[in-house]
Each structure stands twice: as C-alpha cells, then as structure tokens.
A and B are shown apart, each in its own frame.
Chain A
Amino acid sequence: MQKSPFWSLIFWAGVWEFVGQMQWMTLLPPLSGIWFAFAELFQQSAFWDAFIMTARTFGIGLSLSIVVGIPIGILMGISSRADKILSVWVNLFLSAPITAVIPALMPILGIADATVIATVILFSIWVVIIDTQAGVTHVKDSLVEMGKIFGCSRSKIIFWIVIPSAMPEIITGIRLSVVRAVKGVIVGQIVIALIGFGGLFSTYLSYFLMERFWALIIVVFIMSFTIIGLVEMLERRIAFYAKSR
C-alpha cells in the first residue's frame, strides 16, 4: 500500500460516503450530497458577508497582535523591569483557555466585529511577545559589545543589531500567531454564534441543513490550511537566514 495522504483521504471519504448512505446518523449526510451544497453555499450572499467579515476581523486582529506584540516583546527582552511586570500576564494568557473569556467580552465590546477582533488578539498576541522576547534575550553579547565599541547609540544597537538578530524567532512567533489567529477568528464567531460563520453554522444547524453545515466546515478547514501553508512557505524562504547564525 502506498503511504500518501491522498490515498488516506480517499479512504476516509469512502468511509464517510458509506456511513452517510446507510443513514445511521442524521447529522452526517453522504459526502456526495455535500458537493452540491458547496455550489449553494457560494451563491449565498450571507456566505460572502460572513467571509468578508471573517477576513476583516482576522486581518485587523492579527495585524494588531504583530504590531503591538513585537515592541512589547522587544521591551521585555531589553528591560528586566518590563519583563518582571509583564511576563506573569503573558505566560498566564499564553496557556489560558481564551475561549472562556469571550462571553465576558460580548457585553463590553458588543456582538460585532470588535469582539471577534479582541478574540483574535487574545489568541494570537502572546506567542508573538514570547518569541520576540526569546529572540532578543538570545542576541549574542559580543554583537551588542561590538555595537558599543563602534559608538552606536542605544537605538542603533536595537535597530541594527538586536532586532535583526532576533528576526528568526520573531518570524516563528508570527507564524504561530497566524495559526492561533485562525483558531481565534473561528472560535470567536462560533461562541458568539450570531455573526459571521458562527451565525451561519447555528442557522444551518437549527434548520437541519446538514449538507451546507458540512460544506461550510470543509470550506473553513481549507481556508485555514491554505493560510497556514502560505505562512509556513514564507518562513522556509527566510529560514536560510536562521541557519547562518
């Protein structure tokens, strides 16, 4: 037997089709039925509205995580006082079940984009901070001393030596934060259950539109894997740089 994800996929698609055709579970329609649901899904303006809303909240949330997370990570890497004050919180949120916090966000930020954006940030910012800080604290002492020897100011040392040195870790942090932001944007919408894909999921479930429900899940999976795959490709292109250290 050939070991390839393709054959494995075909096998499980076959199992799905069989179980669906047997109609053992009402929640699981046959896979072939779902293919038609894709076409229906793409014709719905509600789907495209949800898609655009997801893209927007994902983009804004992730950008804020990166733009805010990197400076905080740098600050924690170069100042032991900042590290002492912030590291407790960063480590707490890094491993905390963020999903549990979303219901608390809703009354504050409303059932709208803001809550989803906040969820994306809460999912994705901590890993950017932690990885940036790790990169900054591992900068070789001799490089910083070299900067001082040649009369660099503190800001030149940070921008010319510390940040470029930490770049491989920062890129890793960004990649991990993209993965977490993808989770955040979906989880956020599903917990709120009234907007975006979350709204669609609950509508399809309550009307027993199981073909569309599964089609939407597959679309969401494919979108997530596409984004994560793209980021990993990008990281590999920068990887040579990490190796040369």
Chain B
Amino acid sequence: MKKRSRSTEVILSTDSINVVYQESLIALQNVSLDIPAAKLTAILGPSGCGKTTLLKVIAGLIKPTSGSVKVRGKEIEGPGPDRALVFQDFALLPWATVLQNVGFGLRARGVPKKERDETSLHYIKEVGLLGFEDKYPHQLSGGMRQRTGLARALTINSDILLMDEPFSAVDEQMRRKLQEDLLNLLKVENKTVIFVTHSIEEAVYLADQVIILSGRPGSVAEIVYPKIDRTGEIDLIRRQPGYIDLVDEIWSSLKKYVE
C-alpha cells in the first residue's frame, strides 16, 4: 500500500465538510479530500456511513452544514455543468424513451432537437445501446437502464463524473460487464470519476485512489492507491498479484467499522 507520487492536478477538493441531519445525526465529519484529475477515485465504506451524502455534497445537491467543495479552486454554489451524476436507482423518466432520457440534460440547456438527438445517439452508441433508442425504461434490463443513465451523464460533457453505487442494482454478471465497459469507456473519454461503492473488489478493480470512510459518523479513515496496471487486457487486472492482497488489506482495516 505505497503512496503514489501525486503529480496529477487536483480538479476537485473538499475542505472539512460536516453534514448534520436533523440537528443530531452526524453523517459526515471533517471530510477533506483531493480528487486527482482524469483518475478514478472510489469512495468505499459500510452502508450508512455517509457515502451518498458525500457524493451529493460534491454534486451540489446538499449544502454541507460546514465546509466547502471547490472545483479547480472555485467554490461551488450548487449543481453545475462541470459535474454530472449517475444515480443508483437510474433516475430515468418512465414516460420517455432512451433517446429522450439521454437527451434530457441537453434539452434542459435548450439545445435544439436535431443537435440534441445527434449528440444523444453518439453516446447511446458509446455505451452500447444502439438499437434501443426508442425503447422505454420498463422495456430495458437493469444494466441497460444504467447504461442509459451513464449516456445521459456523458452528453453534457462535464469533466467530472459522479457515480453513486451505479452497478449495485444489477446482477453479478452484468456488474462485471458494466465495470469492464466503464474502464473501456474511460480510455476514450477523459474523465475524472468519483465512484461510490460498498464493494472492496469493485473499488480495487476500478480505482486509482480508494478513499475509505469509517462508520457513522463518516470520516476519512484511510486512502489507498491500488497499483494496478490497467493498460493491458481488462481480464488480466483481477489476476495481478497486488489485487487480492489489497482487497484483503482493505478488508482488515474496514472490518472494525462493520458491526
């Protein structure tokens, strides 16, 4: 578990964030983070430790009780075009087709229909949903719904992609496929990804930096930098010698927060 030299630019940082719900429930305590640009950061922790809260603070959906979030040194005021969010429950409009759902962000910005559809189709193709653009969410599998949510987040071309347990609502095989596809996609799209998960394997497999949150109240317990070579075949990542060791190490440090 060696700290990697941090040569990359910090694109987003949080400064001593505290979130208190209903005057007594402390969800986050003093969370300060640096998120490196163009890397995949995983936020890992037991359920209920404040992962979603942290991601929503970063997204600008929740105002922290104290502390601030900065993107490229500038404090955020709320949601912004520099950050897109992929939802755990997909958050698709059930009355809209895949094409309309994917184009939602562009429509909100007033992009004309023709241009909107062109851009949407480009990303529908990129996430592997070509041919499904006229289907409704209820006609899609869980994996396809999340691909739709991902394509929608990609259309607005934000540098930072926030994902809240994006693959937790799909089955194991589909999860693996989506993870592989995400890694492949990130080779094409130059994105900073902040990824919430409760799966140690998923964090180690996908992330360049894993932020481990302690149990309630959530605070940063540890940060690890998996030294996994992702340049080669994706299938080989799980066979690399460091992979299993790191999963075990993280488990032993996380164990004490799981009751």
Binding site for B on A (CB under 8 A): 140, 142-143, 145-152, 156, 160-161, 164, 167, 241, 243-245
Contact = CB atoms under 8 A, between A and B. Distances in A.
A148 B87 contact: no
B138 A149 contact: no
Interface of B: 56, 59-61, 78-81, 83-85, 87-89, 91, 93-95, 104-105, 108-109, 136-138, 156
A147 B108 contact: yes
Provide the main secondary structure of the chain A interface. Answer: helix
Nearest to B106: A150
Contacts of A145: 56, 61, 85, 87, 91
A208 to B, nearest CB: 57
Contacts of B80: 151
Given A142-B89, A244-B138, A149 B79 contact: yes
Contacts of B87: 142, 145-146
21 contacts: A140-B91, A142-B87, A142-B89, A143-B91, A143-B93, A145-B61, A145-B91, A146-B85, A146-B91, A148-B61, A149-B85, A150-B79, A150-B105, A150-B108, A150-B156, A151-B81, A151-B105, A161-B93, A244-B136, A244-B137, A244-B138
A88 to B, nearest CB: 26
Nearest to A147: B108
A241 B87 CA distance: 22
Nearest to A151: B108
Contacts of A143: 91, 93
A212 B51 CA distance: 74
A14 to B, nearest CB: 49
A145 B87 CA distance: 9
Contacts of B93: 143, 161, 164
Provide the main secondary structure of the chain B interface. Answer: loop
Residue with the highest number of chain B CB atoms closer than 10 Å, among A140, A148, A245:
A148
Contacts of A161: 93
9 shortest A-B CB distances, which residue pairs?
Answer: A244-B138, A150-B105, A146-B91, A142-B91, A150-B108, A149-B85, A152-B108, A244-B94, A245-B94
A148 B95 contact: no
Contacts of A152: 108
Contacts of B108: 147, 150-152, 156, 160
Given A140-B89, A142-B89, A244-B137, A149 B94 contact: no
A245 B105 CA distance: 21
A166 to B, nearest CB: 11
A149 B84 contact: yes
Given A146-B91, A148-B61, 9 more contacts: A142-B88, A143-B91, A145-B61, A145-B91, A148-B60, A148-B79, A149-B61, A160-B108, A244-B137
Contacts of A150: 79, 104-105, 108-109, 156
A244 B79 contact: no
Contacts of A241: 94-95
B91 A151 contact: no
A195 B249 CA distance: 86
A142 B88 CA distance: 9
Contacts of B84: 149
Contacts of A142: 87-89, 91
B46 to A, nearest CB: 22
Nearest to A153: B108
A244 B61 contact: no
A245 to B, nearest CB: 5
A164 to B, nearest CB: 5
Nearest to A244: B138
B30 to A, nearest CB: 25
